[in-house]
Chain A
Amino acid sequence: MLLNGFAFGASFLGAGVEFVEALTIILAVGSIRGWKSVLTGAAVAIITLGVLVAIIGVPLVRVIHVSWVQILVGLFMLLFGIRWLRKAILRYAGLKSLHDEAAAYQKEVDRQKNAGEVKHGKIDSFAFTTTFAGTFLEGLEAIFIVIAFGLSQHAIPSSIWGAVAAVVVVLILGFALRAPLARIPENTLKFIVGVMLTSFGAFWLGEGLHVKWPQKDLSIVYMIVTLLVFAWFQVRRFRNRLSDRQNAKTTSTGVSS
């Protein structure tokens, strides 16, 4: 069987971008909420998509309106992500205690570990839902890409092989990145995940609402940079304001005594 080079390459690149986006969500959430629920969420999403493709086949493109999935998943991720990001900014600015948060986190981890021993197999609903939604949406978009390139070139098998090759490359990338991510401090990781979920959520919600993102998926990177720069600026500004206030207090105490 000869492969159609264009269908294979286009599908590899197009589906690859979607898989990298799904991997980003899986790695980000898995690093802070544990891998079990995250991998279960991703696996259930893949199985659901597999069943849908097996039952409906190529007409899937006409049956499922991807815009509605994008709106639902985007809104969910945006609201969760921006909440985390807001907390992270307040934490780094000194408006919420970093130490207390770390202690609270450790307490929660200990609680979950203890609970885990009793209730073996308990699933973290947030981690599961986030990765299920992210993987389902990206997988669905990848399937649409495979079908579109496959039909246009009359080479569905080549298009499928392109997507399979992309899966293999992205899985290797995921395993390679897992270890370095584990070394990032907890608070920093939560900050990064807040930025990631906000950016992906905004992108998908925008896609669902039919806004025209400049340079398509690259807009996610632009949003990540915008939010990182904004957060850095806001943290610095808050620290300066709090430090000025502390200095003013010290001075007034010195004068009165």
Chain B
Amino acid sequence: MKAIKVLVGLVFDDWRLVTTLLIGIIVALLLVAAHAALLGAIAFWIALPVSLWISTDAELKKKLKS
């Protein structure tokens, strides 16, 4: 139950992170479906730092504005 609460909280607290990850996963799935499984892995791999980049940058902008 606690784990589900944390996961739901994560989606709402930091939607940028989860959305970017989700896009990465969808792109990877599409590439797998198109018989480009290696490219799928690379797309997924890239989605990790990109999602962190977008999410943490948003926090920095908030801090700089305050």
Contact = CB atoms under 8 A, between A and B. Distances in A.
A230 B47 CA distance: 12
A45 interface: no
Nearest to B3: A129
Given A76-B7, A95-B59, 11 more contacts: A82-B51, A89-B56, A95-B56, A95-B63, A126-B3, A209-B44, A226-B45, A226-B48, A227-B48, A231-B52, A245-B64
A85 B17 CA distance: 11
A206 B44 contact: yes
Interface stretch (A30-38, A58-66, A211-219): A211-219
A211 B37 contact: yes
Residues of A contacting B: mostly: helix
Interface string B31-63: 110000110111011001101110110011001
Contacts of B29: 209
Interface string A218-246: 01001100110011001000100110010
- Of the four ranges (under 10, 10 to 19, 20 to 34, 35 or more), the interface on chain A belongs to 35 or more
Nearest to A83: B10
A202 B56 CA distance: 19
Interface of B: 2-3, 6-7, 10, 14, 17-18, 21, 25, 28-29, 31-32, 37-38, 40-42, 44-45, 48-49, 51-53, 55-56, 59-60, 63-64
Contact of B32 (A83, A86, A90, A209): A209
Given A125-B2, A212-B41, A234 B59 contact: no
B56 A86 contact: yes
Contact of B56 (A211, A214, A234): A234
A163 interface: no
Given A212-B41, A213-B41, A86 B49 contact: no
Nearest to A212: B37
Given A78-B21, A212-B38, A202 B48 contact: yes
9 smallest A-B Cβ distances: which pairs?
Answer: A212-B37, A211-B41, A211-B40, A230-B49, A212-B38, A213-B41, A125-B2, A206-B44, A210-B32
A22 interface: no
Contacts of B53: 230, 234
Interface string A167-193: 000000000000000000000000000
Interface string A30-63: 0000000000000000000000000000000000
A161 interface: no
